[in-house]
Amino acid sequence: MSEVGKELVARLDLMTLQPQVMMNVSHEGSDLNNLLQARYPKARMLDANQAAESVDLIIANLFLPWQSDFLAILSKWRRLLRPNGLLMFSVLGTDTLTAWTEIFTSENLPHYVDMHNLGDLLLQAGLADPVLDVNYYSLIYRDRNKLFAELIASGMLLPDVEYQQEDCLPSEDGKWHARYEIVYGHAFAPVLAETSTSDGDGVARIPLSQLRRQLNRT
């Protein structure tokens, strides 16, 4: 779903981050790479096999739904991010393709996730200040075969499983509707704590560099 990827990149307008190193681990890679390089022409694009604390920005568009262990992946990304580095992602929410639950079994579908549970997982992975919100996308088809072909092409359905398409009946308008709940989110790698000092007068003195980093994130 290229529109989801474009929306995810557009949300970078709200961020002050100017990455030097970025990584795209999305379901669709090349199109987003082009968008990111156009936005940050001086940044280097790397692959997933990087050293800890080496990446400023990770983009993950509809990648997590095809992973079995969300927490393990989020923890890996947390290790890759530099302090104050940014993770931007999108996932499929639990209200995705709900009209087809009697036809498609969970074994043949990607993993859906509740937005609130995902927020908890981000914190468990050691990421900070998670923000999540939801958009809904509806696609309408006049041809049932095209619906199935696009669901398979997008990875929403496994290609090697036989589906009883005759059970997939149209709505009252004679068309087939596919509704997706897309959860967008971002979170930061926490800034490493710098020791504040005190002169014994009860007043703590916080390094200016730490205050600047906090201001840049607001």
- Write the CATH number for 198: 3.40.50.150
- Note down pLDDT in tens along the chain; length 218 residues: 688 999 999 999 999 999 999 999 987 667 889 999 999 999 999 887 788 999 999 999 999 998 989 999 999 999 999 999 999 999 999 999 887 777 777 777 788 999 999 999 999 999 999 999 999 999 999 988 888 888 887 778 776 666 666 667 788 888 988 899 999 999 999 986 443 444 455 554 544 544 454 445 44
pLDDT score at 162: 65
Domain enclosing residue 50, as ranges: 2-139+180-216
The string of pLDDT tens digits covering residues 155-189 is 787 766 666 666 677 888 889 888 999 999 999 99
Region of 136 (left: φ > 0; alpha: ψ -120 to 50; beta: rest) is beta
Specify if 130 maps to a domain. Answer: yes
Closest CA to 87 of 119, 110, 55: 55
Specify if 151 maps to a domain. Answer: no
Specify if 154 maps to a domain. Answer: no
Specify if 165 maps to a domain. Answer: no
DSSP type of residue 190: P
CA 178 remoteness from chain centre: 21
- Tell me the C-alpha to C-alpha distance, in Å, between residue 206 and each of 82, 85, 202: 21, 21, 13
Specify if 82 maps to a domain. Answer: yes
pLDDT score at 85: 96
Specify if 17 maps to a domain. Answer: yes
Residue the block writes with tokens 């692959």: 47
pLDDT score at 29: 62
Longest dimension (CA), the chain: 79
How many domains are there within the chain?
1
Specify if 150 maps to a domain. Answer: no
pLDDT score at 129: 94
Specify if 147 maps to a domain. Answer: no
